[in-house]
Amino acid sequence: MKILMITPYLPYPLVSGGQIRTYNLLKNLAHKHQITLASFIRSEQEKEYLKELEPFCQKVILFNRRKAWSPINIILSAITPFPFLVSIYFDISVRKKIKEELEKENYNLIHAETFYVMPNIPQTKVPIFLVEQVIEYLVYQRFVEGLPIWSFLIKPFLLLDVAKIKWWERFYWKRAKRLAAMSEEDRDFIRKLEPKLEVDVISNGVDIAYFAKTEKHKPKVPTVLFVGQFKWLPNRDATKFLVKEIWPTIKEKIATSKLWIVGRNPPDDIKNFASADVRVDGDVEDIRLAYGTSDVLLAPIRNGRGTKYKILEAMATKTPIVGTKLAVEGINVRNGKEAFVAQDAADLAAKTLQVLKNPKMGEKLAEAAYMLVKNKYNWERISQELDRVYKEVGI
């Protein structure tokens, strides 16, 4: 089958959840389909990564994405119905290139990763399969609702933009022939808004072989790990929640404990959390080192739906997990069996302390989690499910 896959990023290097997902799906589907990858890049330097993708693609087409705060994006979001998120990616020249590509080649399917690349797809008879990695408007809605009181002057404009995101997100759900969500919870949420849509669950996975090579070394002091890419707003919220409301309780009970915050692109307010007992690393060469030298992964996620790679990675490295319901969403973990699940700061701290004080309990959780991720969340199995949908949707 000939497939045109359109993504808002180049799926390499593997530094974000979206890149990890797309790269592994390409790698596992390359022998079954002829895939043309069409991706946005932020800089010319990204072209050096093409050699990592070309073995899995028939062709790679690159589009230059405008800088997020380009005046063009601001003007587009102000004078058109498009929200700011869509304005960043909408480009007449990109739409023209995609139109030419569709006319030149006989594609069976268009695979669009995220709804906000879809305005660049012209009218076509080729069926569109849309993958929603998260429900975007919910992420931005929670962010705006959590803004401080002094932001009251800009809040109405931001809420208007969230309303526009919601409208266009639902519009493009309906334009696609088929939709995929990352979890059953997301699928049910979409169906509640749009009952007539056909929605599959194509969950995220993890490279079991890669993470199983993690070398485990008992840290010198009890170490709590947080992992997250800080361009994703929910990770910023979770870090602040952790440091301000959860960590003081843990530190009070175990004075020697340390918190290790790992994630690319930490903003200044996250970097400022660094102290004698809190370490902030914006760039860890091999994330397995962090999992291998920590006692527990703490994931107090309060916003953002979809499967979290940090959870799958921790499972694959046999690192015990404490997290919220949203943190483990889309993964069939059972509270007290493969992970500890809690909601408020006091309970999250208490569950983390249980693991730190009882290593045998942590090992039992981690072993059960490893067996679950190995059997159900490996990329080969997930790619087979996507291949099934391709065959049902394509022409």
pLDDT along the chain (395 residues), means of 10: 98 89 95 98 97 97 96 94 97 98 98 97 98 92 87 91 97 98 92 96 92 92 96 92 98 98 95 97 90 97 81 96 94 96 97 97 97 93 96 96
Task: Identify the pLDDT of residue 307.
Answer: 66
- Please tell me the CATH superfamily of domain 2-205+379-393, with its number: Glycogen Phosphorylase B; (3.40.50.2000)
The domains spanning 2-205+379-393 and 208-376 adopt the same CATH topology: yes
Residue ranges of domains in the chain: 2-205+379-393, 208-376
**E strand map for 107-204:** 109-113, 128-132, 178-181, 199-201
Q: How many helices (H) and strands (E) does the chain have?
A: 17, 13
Give the global pTM: 0.86
Task: Identify the pLDDT of residue 41.
Answer: 98
Q: Would you mind telling me the total number of residues written for the chain in this entry?
A: 395
Task: Identify the pLDDT of residue 142.
Answer: 86
Nearest to 58 by CA among 89, 21, 13, 104: 104
CATH architecture, domain 208-376: 3-Layer(aba) Sandwich (3.40)
